[in-house]
Chain A
Amino acid sequence: MSLAEPLPGARSGAAPGQPEWSTPGACCPTGAAAVFARTGGLARFVSDAEGGLKRLDLLVPGVHCAACIQRIEEALPKTPGLRSARVNLSLRRVSATYDPAQAEPEDVVEALSRLGYPARPFDARAMHDAERDGEGRDLLARLAVAGFAAMNVMLLSVAVWSGASDATRDLLHWVSALIALPATVFAGMPFFRSALGVLRHGHVNMDVPISLALILACGVSLFEVAESGAHAYFDAAVSLCFFLLLGRVLDHGARRHARLAAAELGGLQAHSATVVAEGGVRRVVAVEDLRPGDRIEVAAGERAPADGRVIEGASDLDRSMITGESRPEPAAQGSEIHAGVLNLSAPLLIEATATGDDTALAGIARMIQAAEGARTRYVDWALRAARLYVPIVHLAALVTFVGWLLAGIPLSDAVLIAAAVLIITCPCALGLAAPAVHAAAGGRLFRAGIFLKDGAALERLADVDVAVFDKTGTLTAGEPTLVEAPHDPALWSAARALAQVSRHPFSKALAAAAEARGLPAASATALKEVPGCGVEGEIDGRPARLGRADWCGAEAAADAGSAVWLRLGEAPPARFGFEDPLRPDAAATVAALKARGLEVRLISGDAEAAVAKAAAEAGIAHWRAVATPADKVAALEALAAEGRTVLMVGDGINDAPALAAAAASISPASAADVSRAAAGMALAGSRLNPVVVALDVARAAKARVFENFAFAALYNACAVPLAAFGFVTPLIAALAMSGSSIVVTLNALRMRRAGRAAEAAAPPATGGPA
């Protein structure tokens, strides 16, 4: 028996084609089984494996527990032609091998989708660096070597400090040199390379004083040992390497997660499209091969692969990810459709007008790239500290050297003392100050359900003074909820019977509400969905219709888009009203942000009335409706031009450029992939309160980093005079450097407590809309 119970196979309830991001937090996802045409579209993602087999690596965002691993690894090899499957849970990857004589790469995707895991290929070449993580492994290897050398050299140094003398001391020094010199060359290489790189361009960074201190420590010590001197700094050189590499490893870990998230982009767009040629012959082609003028079939539940015009069929379109408009829109012949728009109820035939890079979606992607350019101008705290610090330290060493020369001591002694200044001021604590805090804050945020993409996002969040929210899917849950309904149970039962056959969001909400009230569905016959209108059928011999007001014979009211009507026989139609309500903690979150001194604004692509209502309920005075993605970016740029630092919270593709343009950005769990990639942080779960927690943690992190900088400055203020007057021995240098590194790290660990108040103040989690 396995520990993980076999899970029920295909679960009911998941609508076919339901996008994976619409079910955040659901354990073991239930994607719909999909059939993939054998078009060779996956061929470019296939690589060779041993024994004449082929390998396909897939990104499977749905795997996240032991049961998922077991299901996939047991079921895949049982599929004909497939040989093995290996899940990487950290990276959400599945690597499968198959026999090319018996199977196609599409079989792997199909097998996964039958298990309920939507999978998508990724360009292994593009992902190569991020996935293999050569740099991380390289840093870890160097860290291990530095740690080994530091421990051994420190032991030998302890023997020297305890009073070894003469030949014994020389022996211990020589052994230290034999360990420390190769170790420093190997472990210090990242610093030397980086320092050389910036010096070539006439800049300085923290690696310049680090490299100088390492080289001087080794050089001066070697000179001392050759002269049988007492002062060897080998232990300082290797422990410096160790502590600094530790900071690098922490930093790299955070950056790697950011890169992986960015590389996973592109899942939103359809990968293949069904082109209908003359005479009705259907052909599946890769999206890249679509041309304007192609007639494309878009099945219900699919996203349009290109911009185009509807030439046949009628359906409802969910444009919310592109426009922010929350209500589904009916589409008929002649309607415009954009790439990425979700087709809800019936197949459509469209004629492509723009494909590939010319689509509105690709335009948004370009806006994201342009906006991100602005963000790279940000100078992080550690670099700012380095710019201040480096000239001061080098000046101090120079003054020391010249001073002692003028005082008339031999050149070699003056070099030794100046070197001691550089060694003891080597920015060990400074190098650890920011990465240690970022790593601690990242862990703290992770426990609060916030994924931090990189340390810089946290730094920028600490400085924000305006928060701009999107409405649909951010302040609101993005799903309609029934708010008005007749009381007659018979009507409810009839409505449920009709609603449960449709994939329209209103129907789904209505069916769910009926189920929650325990009202059974009436027995209905001859059910038929009329795209763009509603569902009709027969109940107890009476014709029944559920759908648009005019189709059901009701007065078409102004709120036509937010209600469905039920007409049973000849009775007057009954109204079911829907709203996209605010998330339960939206108003509390807005109030908490205001209490922290932020101005809160709302910018949405939705209609004016809906935005005004949401703004009033959430307590936001500044709002703007019908904003295009470009309007949103322009609004943020205008705020930035006023000298404000903006936090953008949004989820749709239409928000993605704004998320990339804002100083800091957060996207909720339900957000589109592009938006999550563009945002600096992403939330898990359905609550908004983590935004406040993130802000508190960011502000605490800023305080900790600056405390660390202040401590490093104080340490240097004490150490430099001591070193300059020649009082520093290798023992003092070792104690001072290790001590300051430990103090800085411990201070960073205080981050664990940050943000508790905001978490405690949040209202208890509710189950969301019933």
Chain B
Amino acid sequence: MTILLATIPASLVLGGLGLAAFLWSLKRGQYRDLEGDAARILFQDDERPPADPPADRKG
């Protein structure tokens, strides 16, 4: 059962990373305007030159 000594810390660290990421995003206000974020995804940035046209992406 010595494998437990490796797997338990590993699972805790991975889960802890996820938890830390969530708490960080919560603290940074990422969930303050969910409706607005849903709408903003529709915008295209006029400032930057247009990205590669999708037609160029062949096989």
Contacts and interface: CB of A to CB of B under 8 A. Distances in A.
A3 B34 CA distance: 20
Q: Which 4 residue pairs spanning A and B have beta carbons closest together?
A: A89-B36, A66-B39, A89-B35, A148-B19
A2 B46 contact: yes
B8 to A, nearest CB: 6
A175 interface: yes
A1 B32 contact: no
Given A69-B36, A89-B35, A141-B26, 6 more contacts: A87-B36, A90-B34, A91-B33, A145-B19, A148-B16, A171-B1
B15 A144 contact: no
Given A66-B42, A141-B26, A171-B4, A148 B18 contact: yes
Chain B, interface residues (CB within 8 Å), range = 20 to 34
Contact of A66 (B16, B27, B40, B46): B40
Given A1-B44, A89-B33, A141-B23, A65 B15 contact: no
Given A90-B32, A152-B11, A144 B19 contact: yes
A179 interface: yes
A246 to B, nearest CB: 15
Given A2-B44, A152-B12, A168 B4 contact: yes
A175 B35 contact: no
B12 A179 contact: yes
Contact of A148 (B15, B31, B32, B33): B15
29 contacts: A1-B44, A1-B46, A2-B44, A3-B42, A3-B43, A66-B43, A69-B39, A69-B40, A88-B32, A88-B36, A89-B35, A89-B36, A90-B33, A90-B35, A90-B36, A137-B26, A140-B26, A140-B31, A141-B23, A141-B26, A144-B22, A145-B19, A148-B16, A152-B12, A152-B15, A156-B8, A171-B4, A175-B8, A179-B12
Contacts of A137: 26-27, 31
Contacts of A18: none
B33 to A, nearest CB: 4
A145 B16 CA distance: 9
Interface of B: 1, 4, 8, 11-12, 15-16, 18-19, 22-23, 26-27, 31-36, 39-40, 42-44, 46
Interface of A: 1-4, 65-66, 69-70, 87-91, 133, 137, 140-141, 144-145, 148, 151-152, 155-156, 168, 171-172, 175, 179
A96 to B, nearest CB: 15
Contacts of A88: 32-33, 36
Contacts, number: 65
Nearest to B12: A152
B2 to A, nearest CB: 10
A93 B33 CA distance: 10
Nearest to A136: B31
Contacts of A2: 43-44, 46
Contacts of A66: 39-40, 42-43
A133 B12 CA distance: 30
Contacts of A69: 36, 39-40, 43
Nearest to B32: A88
A151 B15 contact: yes
B37 to A, nearest CB: 8
B46 to A, nearest CB: 7
Given A88-B33, A155-B11, A144 B23 contact: yes
A576 to B, nearest CB: 44
Contacts of B39: 65-66, 69, 89
Contacts of A140: 26, 31
A394 to B, nearest CB: 34
Contacts of B19: 144-145, 148
Contacts of A156: 8
Contacts of B46: 1-2
Contacts of B40: 66, 69
A172 B31 CA distance: 36
A133 B26 CA distance: 11
Nearest to B34: A90
Contacts of B8: 156, 175
Contacts of B27: 137
B16 to A, nearest CB: 7
Contacts of A87: 36
B43 A70 contact: yes
Contacts of A152: 11-12, 15
A232 to B, nearest CB: 16
Nearest to A138: B26
A140 B22 CA distance: 10
Nearest to B18: A148
A144 B30 CA distance: 15
A126 to B, nearest CB: 19
A148 B16 CA distance: 8
A1 B43 CA distance: 9
A137 B34 CA distance: 14
Contacts of B12: 152, 179
Contacts of A145: 19
A156 B12 CA distance: 11
Contacts of A133: 32
Contacts of A90: 32-36
Contacts of B31: 137, 140
Nearest to B40: A69
Contacts of B32: 88, 90-91, 133
A88 B32 CA distance: 8
Nearest to A133: B32
Contacts of B34: 90
Nearest to A156: B8
A4 B42 contact: yes
A168 B16 CA distance: 23
Contact of A144 (B4, B26, B35): B26
Nearest to A66: B39
A140 B32 CA distance: 12
A462 B8 CA distance: 51
A324 to B, nearest CB: 35
* Most chain B beta-carbon neighbours within 10 Å: one of A3, A89, A151, A172: A89
Contacts of B11: 152, 155
B6 to A, nearest CB: 13
A560 to B, nearest CB: 49
A256 B35 CA distance: 16
Contacts of B43: 2-4, 66, 69-70
Nearest to A70: B43
A90 B29 CA distance: 13
